[in-house]
Amino acid sequence: MTYQRDADKKLKVAVVGLGSHSYRNILPALTYLPVELVAVCDLNGELAALTAKQYGQCAWYTETKYMYEKEQLDAVFLVVSPYKHPELAIEAFHAGVNVWMEKPAAIRVHEVEAMLENRKQTRAMVGFKKVFMPSAEKAMEVCRIPEFGKLNSMLASYPMCMPKNGREVLEHRRFQNWLGNGCHPLSLMMAVGGTVSAVTTHVGANGYGCVLLDFANGVTGTLQLASGPQPIEFYHFYGSNWHLGIDNCLKVTLQRGIPFEYGKTTSYVPAGLESGAIVWEPQNCMATLENKALFTQGVYGELHYFCRCLLDDKPVERGSLEFTLELMKVYEAALISNGATIEIQ
């Protein structure tokens, strides 16, 4: 990892949207990225001016149109409402500027399709931070090694409920938590399991229950819509030989099992280090980067990946608009399922 001030080559970037999330997470993460912040933009001119002053000599704007006319940008970070992401992303594409945008990317599937149609030669990425958590990257690594065996199923738990009248939610383009945060567990499960072919939602009158995912490769996934106090988020990946769990986004446990003979084995800690569990978790005893939320929650990882794709002239694969389109199809199917299995085209 190279700090911004030490980077040999930097991208000229702008941040659009300077609200609480942007100020707490996106702007601070720039310290660790190979970028030069040349402009900020927000409808609130006073907020834009104050932020520009804090971050040095960068310019500030209240309209993206004038920003693109005056600034030579390699990329723009959009941290605004999903109602505005498609419009602002397409504007940036037409200006020849690469786009990273916060999740969710849009309100409806067809809006993501419109972004794909207008992307042209630029690159675009959506900020699914859960996919870039160190714990998630370890899960993706382990699930692909031969010793793990074939991935058979996944189980996830996330604190949320499914809104009622899903068809009305879609028809009236209502923003709700299933869109705003449901993309977190969905993105991680799809990053590991691949494309989803069918969705079935089973919830009670209070909106809690589960979303069943059938993946095209035969893997099955269960997303538990859970209630109760935090920590409640976890992920488990079950292979034919081993299984791996992520608890509270931080603790990774790889269960390799132990050799035993039923009715005869007397110790659960056999000799050697080739069996049993392996555990990884933050040290939390020093103010080092691997213990900071910007890193453990995947914010740095997603932004760094986008920057490296641009600097190294590589296509965006993780968090791409194509991936986002598939995820949005799952989001919409889950809303309208109501116990029926919805096939995804």
- How sure is the predictor about 215, in pLDDT bands with cuts at 50, 70 and 90? very high
Q: How far apart are CA 37 and CA 35, in angstroms?
A: 6
**Across all residues in the chain, what is the average pLDDT?**
97
Last residue of a domain, one of 128, 151, 179: 128
109 and 173 belong to one structural domain: no
Total structural domains in the chain? 2
339 and 192 part of one domain:
yes
pLDDT at site 345: 84
| Rounded Cα distance, 108 and 240, in Å | 37
Instruction: With CA atoms as reference, report the closest residue to 256 among 153, 130, 145.
Output: 145
What is the distance between the alpha carbons of residues 324 and 277, in angstroms, rounded to a whole number?
Answer: 34
Same domain for 332 and 251: yes
Tell me the CATH number at 246. 3.30.360.10
Q: Provide CB contacts within 8 A for 205, sequence distance 6+.
A: none
- For residues 10 and 109, state if they share a domain: yes
Total-model pTM: 0.96
CATH at residue 31:
3.40.50.720
Q: What is the pLDDT of residues 17-47, one digit of tens each?
A: 999 999 999 999 999 999 999 999 999 999 9
Domain boundary among 128, 154, 189: 128
Residue where the block lists tokens 């786009």: 99
In a domain, residue 69? The reply is: yes
- For 87-138, the pLDDT digits (tens) are 999 999 999 999 999 999 999 999 999 999 999 999 999 999 999 999 999 9
Q: Which domain holds residue 244?
A: 132-295+326-343
Together in a domain, 101 and 26: yes
Which single residue is written with the structure tokens 């399991």? 193
